[in-house]
Amino acid sequence: MNISIYFDGGCRPTNPGHIYGSYEVLIDGRPVAKVTRLEMGWGTNNDAEFMILERALAWTAEALAGAGNTPGQFTLAVFSDATIIVNRLNGRNKTAKTQPQQRMQRHAVACLKWMTQFKSYRAMWNGRAVNVAKFGH
């Protein structure tokens, strides 16, 4: 069985700013959860992307456990319109010299702790239009 997570984060009125995010979880193409515009505090748009993905992954693991399943029974694909997020989750951009790079690496590690519990996982890029259609931002 396959799990797909679409997610998007942003901030306003500037970057950094007040961060928010949205996600949708699908199992075998069937929507099972959707959270739209969850407020998450202060940070950058990349903080928001990673933070909403981590929340989506935690929700997914809890939902699977509640149904008597484990992540190891499923393949996982996560979809983002942020290239930096996809690259970090796929093991690129591991060098973190500056403070922002180190923060992004910590976010990626937190997400990968959830993702590595699945039978297999991959992070894929999707166009901005997909997220606008799904979440309105």
Distance CA 95, CA 46 (A): 17
Range of the domain at 122: 2-135
Query: pLDDT band at residue 95, thresholds of 50, 70 and 90?
Result: low
Our count of domains for the chain comes to: 1
Distance CA 113, CA 111 (A): 5
CATH number at residue 109: 3.30.420.10
Judged against a pLDDT cut of 70, whether residue 94 lies above it is answered with: no
For the question of whether the overall pTM of this predicted structure is more than 0.85, the answer is yes
pLDDT score, position 11: 96
pLDDT score, position 120: 97
Residues 6+ positions from 94 with CB-CB distance below 8 Å: 88, 105
Q: Are 21 and 44 in contact (CB under 8 A)?
A: no
